[in-house]
Amino acid sequence: AAGPIRQDLGRHEVTVDGRAVHLTPIEFKLLGELMRHAGKVLTHRHLLHQVWGPGAEHETHYLRVHMAALRRKIEAEPGRARWLLTEPGVGYRLRDDASP
């Protein structure tokens, strides 16, 4: 869990503030990777490799499109993300309860 975000891997469910959020399989996998490493910056290359597999490490547009969709579903204000943070030129980070 990170703030209001809960992911139940066994049930393949995600809730935000107790409300169910429908994610595509890619979005679910992407959120799962971010949640496993909450608070840490994950590089574009790492996320692409983990979510899309070997050979996708240079397809950063995949990541941008899916992160934008994930933000629209998770964030209260997608344009001013509180939880799914961009680390410019590096990657993304899921803010955990302890990070600023």
- Residue-wise pLDDT for 50-72, tens only, equals 999 999 988 999 999 999 999 99
- Kindly report the pTM of this predicted structure: 0.91
Nearest-angstrom CA–CA distance, 99 and 58: 29
Banded model confidence at residue 99, pLDDT cuts 50, 70, 90 = low
